[in-house]
Structure 1
Amino acid sequence: MILHTLLDYDTLRFIWWALIGVLLVGFAVTDGFDLGSGMLLPFAARNDVERRLVINSVGPVWEGNQVWLILGGGAVFAAWPQLYAVSFSGFYLAMFVVLSALILRPVAFKFRSKRESPQWRARWDGVLFFSGLVPALIFGVAVGNVLQGVPFRFATDMHIHYDGSFLGLLNPFALLCGLVSVAMMAMHGAAWLQLKTAGPVAERSRRYGMVAAAATIVLYAAAGFWMASAVGGYRITSVVDTVGPSNPLLKSVELQAGAWFANYAAHPWTLAAPVAGFAGALLALVGLALRRELLALLAGALGIAGIILSVGASMFPFILPSSIDPRASLTVWDSSSSHLTLFIMLVVTAIFIPLIVAYTTWVYHVLWGKVDEKAIREERGHAY
């Protein structure tokens, strides 16, 4: 028996859909708090030593956190080639802005403290703020556009045509989703700073985090109401072939009001995702208010995971719907790589993901504890 036949094609497709969700959550939860810390840098820290406290709280771990983003991009490229082609070409300028921000961040970390000049350091602090805010905003905007449908189509030779523009991505609903992303990252960053710092920085972070947690709840509810009332979803109207070839044009799709909420009615267990989103943000608010540091951080992670997974749960089996040719919409069942490719990748993933998780856990264990302000003042024991 050929090994890859141990798992059916449709099962492998579903597993990889779930794994993409896991990788996105892994990136948002780990890299989310250092993006949030960057956003809070000008507000939670008022002088040079306090800003170095914030920077050193994330300095040892931010590079490792971005492994999840690299894994996610690689998984999309290998497991969902059509999704990769459409999203990375259609969202090219948006991706360029995000990558520019992420490239500037390590430069700011390395160069900020190379000179004593207050003006020099203030400029790099601005870069760190920019590199925290912009990716969080654009990732949320991208999700908002995916929920509405992206203007792409396939030619008869399966060549992809994207008919949108960068400014077209900045529509009101997508911007609202961007604000949800910014708020939840700021909430998570504040919880991290409360855990890793002490004194005025921790106290200011706690206050800003409470505002961000409340904003996350309100904005997430507003986005859900808007989606239910004014954003149409997509529904497959033909017979679904879960083991057929990866050709999106072999199905029929129609735009239908409220279709994104149909999965919750058909599969009530999927309601766990939005419930976790609201509950996590609420518990993070409580944890911040009561100065329960670990509770706030873990609850923020739960809220972020719930919010992201609620998007996937509501859209299933769609991955990237098309607003101009619904039939071209990419789904779990018609946009994946081959059966053999998915199986080989699953074996590799089953080996390396546990290693990454184990190593990351060990790193956080070694680095556990608050950043030492005295050590920073004495210029010892810290990298930045």
Structure 2
Amino acid sequence: MLDYETLRLLWWALLGVLLIGFAIMDGFDLGVAALLPILGRTDLDRRVMINTVGPVWEGNQVWLILGAGAVFAAWPALYATAFSGFYIAMFLVLCALILRPVGFKFRSKLDGTAWRHAWDTALVVGGVVPAVVFGVAFGNVLQGVPFHFDTDLRVTYTGGFFGLLNPFALLCGFVSLAMVVMHGAVYLAVKTDGEIAARARGVVPWAVILLLALFSLAGAWIAAGIDGYAITSALVPDGPSNPLMKSVARAPGAWLENYHRFPISVAVPALGYAGALATWGLVRAGRSGLAFITSSLAVAGVVGTVGVSVFPFLLPSSSNPASSLTVWDASSSPATLRIMLVAALIFMPLILAYTAWVFRVLRGPVRARDITTDGGAFY
């Protein structure tokens, strides 16, 4: 039987898998939406782009639900703190995500140019805002979030929404946006043909350059100007879930310590660089299908870099470092983690199999002539 320490590590890894899964699967349809005004020169172009994601975007949302559910059940203290502290930001994301199904359906109700342009704008907002806000959230995690626990473990958040929009967090937001734009452009290169696919392939190099430049700038900023967090008391990996039973100090360069302690972890950010560069090269070589795989690897590397850098922290506290939530003191009970692990081992393969089947059924490019003859297409 797995011990408490192992269960906590497994659920930390599973949380990372779910977040990466969401970034990959929902990232390309957020990227497609963000690219609507850039690649969609005509209404028919935009209809083609919408139809590449229209049948799959709802299934992609499963990864977001799974991630939130995993946080709720496996890391309840993290769920309570993050969802209350980031409440307005989460509400903003929710509103933006709601615009997508509304935009898909409503833009076809009238033929007027102004009407369809308005809903296309709503779809762009529904793609750009979540991508930026999720990046901003990761940026604030790297800096620490102003919250603390009292002696009864009641959490108090002392920050505000606009405090989240600090320069470093906004930089991380733009890293996230560049990442999904790259991913979305590669997806369009696979799922369309003709001029749209050519335009999408033309966007990929610029998105890759912007992603790598911003990702490098964020890394340099962390190394030079952002203090990390370090546990200064004895670690108790199988101890009770009480975040106040430890000591934590802020220290320059602490977020780089894991790369010194575990050199193999350098492979995670390296995957982000290698995947993005390989994507550029494969798109130039006309291998868009393989480029989508390497783009997914780049997304995994960028998102995974945050998790590897801050481990074992889940949510550092800037106002009271001792209240920081870590893998060792923020989890549910061993029984809960075991039951959930069994459920994950049953349902995750089913979700992956179903997702693979859906994409196999929907394989092949979406063409303009298909849109004009299919009455069931999105408009």
| TM-score, scaled to structure 1 | 0.97
State whether residues 141 and 177 of structure 1, in contact with CA within 8 Å, keep that contact through their aligned partners in structure 2.
yes
Q: Helix, strand or coil for the counterpart of 2:314?
A: strand
2:228 is aligned with what amino acid? Answer: G
Whether 1:111 aligns to 2:106 is yes
By how many angstroms is 1:131 displaced?
A: 0.3
User: What is the CA distance between 1:381 and its match in structure 2?
Assistant: 5.5
How many residue pairs get aligned? The number is 379
SS in 2 for 1:340: helix
Matched residue, 1:211: 206
Is residue 2:236 matched to residue 1:241?
yes
Aligned counterpart in structure 1 of residue 222 of structure 2, from 221, 227, 246:
227
The match for 1:163 is: 158
Are the aligned partners of 1:41 and 1:129 in contact in 2 as well (CA < 8 Å)?
yes
**1:9 maps to which residue?**
4
**Is residue 92 from structure 1 mapped to residue 84 from structure 2 by the alignment?**
no
1:210-266 Cα deviation digits (max 9, x unpaired) = 211110111101100000110111000100111111000000000000001100110
Residue 28 of structure 2 corresponds to 33
| Contact 1:196–1:370 (CA under 8 A) maintained in structure 2 | yes
Distance 1:287 1:62 in 2: 25
Q: Choose which of 250, 255, 259 in structure 2 pairs with 1:260.
A: 255
Q: Confirm or deny: 8 A CA contact 1:213 1:281 kept in the other structure.
A: yes
Identity of aligned residues (%): 57
One-letter amino acid matched to 1:55: I
1:86-142 Cα offsets, whole Å, 9 max, x none, are: 100000000000000111111111111121111111000000100000000000000
Q: Which amino acid aligns with 2:132?
A: L
Once the two structures are superposed, residues 314-368 of structure 1 have per-residue CA deviations (whole angstroms, 9 ceiling, x without a partner) of 1110000000100000000000000100000000010000000000000000100
User: Within 5 A, what are the aligned runs for 1:190-339?
Assistant: 190-339=185-334
Distance 1:11 1:124 in 2: 48
Q: 2:362 — aligned with what?
A: 367
Query: How far apart are residue 378 of structure 1 and its match?
Result: 2.7
AA of the residue aligned to 1:112: R
CA distance in structure 2 between the aligned counterparts of 1:336 and 1:54, rounded to whole angstroms: 42
Mapped contact 2:186–2:295 kept (Cα < 8 A): yes
Q: CA deviation at 1:58?
A: 0.5
Conserved in 2, the CA contact under 8 Å of 1:375 and 1:381? no
Query: How many Å separate the matches in 2 of 1:65 and 1:327?
Result: 37
Superposed displacement of residue 380, structure 1: 4.0
Counterpart CA distance in 2 for 1:379 and 1:232 is 56
Q: Which amino acid aligns with 2:219?
A: G
* 2:102 corresponds to 1:79: no
Equivalent residue for 1:3?
none
Partners of 2:374 and 2:7 in 1: how far apart? 52
Rounded to whole Å, the distance in 2 between the matches of 1:54 and 1:310 is: 31
Match of 1:52 in 2: 47
8 Å contact kept, 1:33–1:188: yes
Hey, what's the Cα distance between the residues in 2 that align with 1:355 and 1:368? Answer: 20
Following the alignment from structure 1 to structure 2, what is the Cα–Cα distance between the partners of residues 367 and 229? 47
What does residue 147 of structure 2 align with? 152
> Do 2:104 and 2:378's aligned partners in 1 also have CA atoms closer than 8 Å?
no
The one-letter code of the counterpart of 2:13 is: A
Q: Give CA-to-partner distance per residue, 1:166-225, whole Å, 9 cap, x none.
A: 000000110110010000100000000010011111111111222111101111011000
Please provide the CA RMSD for this pair. Answer: 0.9
One-letter code of the match for 1:23? L
| Aligned AA (2:285) | L
CA distance in 1, matches of 2:289, 2:266: 26
- The TM-score with structure 2 as length reference comes to 0.99
Instruction: Find the residue that maps to 2:108 and give its secondary structure.
Output: helix
Unaligned runs of 5+ in 2: none
Q: Which runs of 5+ in 1 are unaligned?
A: 1-5
Deviation larger for 182-191 or 150-159: 150-159
1:94 aligned partner, one-letter code: A
| Structure 1, 203-212 or 323-332: larger mean CA deviation | 203-212
